[in-house]
Structure 1
Amino acid sequence: MTLYKQNFRIILTYLIVLVLPSACAQLFKLTPQIFLLTTIFDLLGALGLLVFNRRRTANSLEYHPAPLKTIIMWGISGILLTLLVQVLAGIVDHLIFKNSANSLNTITLMTAMRQQPWLILAVTIAAPVMEEIVFRGAIFGGLSGTINPLWAALISSLLFSLLHQDGHLIIYAAIGLFLCWLYRKTGSLYTTIISHAGMNLLVTLTYLLR
């Protein structure tokens, strides 16, 4: 199977995982269990994408990956750097669009998490794993072999931003661009998965402990 087909399979699987919880909730009248369904499908989706990604042919960014120690170091450092990028992008977003610093998407998830704590698994583990494999690995990594990496990063980050659907396009795009840079620097998705998951965990704990 070519890299193009492997990446297409990854993206298609991700889209199916996004749609299935709502589809099942509507079909089987399980709307009150929507967050439980989301968590289950997200965890299964993350596991499936990890398997697909493991079997995927290396793209042009992964030919010379950094040593494991460097990957872990950058992954942990990237947690704080991603948060810094988010704060700076939030300032720019407010200056240009007058958007509130609070994300409706995040507030909705955090409110639900107080009543349904298992949702933390979807937010801090499943979502970062899937998003890194899809947006950084399949889209940015896949496109980098055929077009300029900067354009590939911009396309990947714009799609990543649009996916979150809460109006903070600059914030999510900036985070996406930083994670693309981190992926290119280390040649490993594990770096960005650590950074993304760690950032989500810190944001989640901050909201829940307020």
Structure 2
Amino acid sequence: MYRINGFSTLIVLATLLMASTPSWALRSDRNQPINIKADRVEINEKTETSHYQGNVYLKQGSLIINADSIMVYLKEGKLIKIIIDGSPATFEQKPEDNKDVVQSSAQHMEYYATRQLLILKQDARIIQGANNFSGDFIEYDTLNSTVKANKDENSDSRVHAIIQPKKDTAEDNDAPNSTPIDSKSDAKSTPPANPEKETPTE
């Protein structure tokens, strides 16, 4: 087991997280350097785990994580899950160039790499633009872009969701209700009748 102390950038996590960039993230994020800072880290090669503690800060492109603790689990060198704890821990990332940043916060977060599933527990919240989901438990399926929110059985709080309707585009507003008829083209489409020739009289 290795222990690294001191508030410093930890390059060692870079190789562990390169494959963890979620599918909803900007593609350019994968090519950005990973900058990690923490008070201390413990790495166990036998169990393939690494534990980052104390003012943990991680940034890769648009991805920014702030937490008290980040635990990374691997299996045969591949990422299995990431456990994030804080008071609260925050996780934000821009999904696409034309989309708002996804901001999430909770006391406890779990990211499962294979299923690309992000689970938030205790004071959970996900915000994207004017859309807002909050509850005791939020499950964000990043692969299928679905959100499930529930309340704790022992809690009196309820799930709260604010979803803003999409604005009409200018093209939709300017679109005519019916297709105009071109009288000239219709006239050409109907051939004129051939008049019968008059027989000259003698």
Structure with the largest fraction of strand: 2
Which is bigger in relative contact order (C-alpha 8 A, separation at least 6)?
A: 1
Q: Same fold (TM over 0.5)?
A: no
Provide TM-score, normalisation by structure 2. 0.18
Structure with the largest fraction of helix: 1
Q: Could you say which structure has the larger radius of gyration?
A: 2
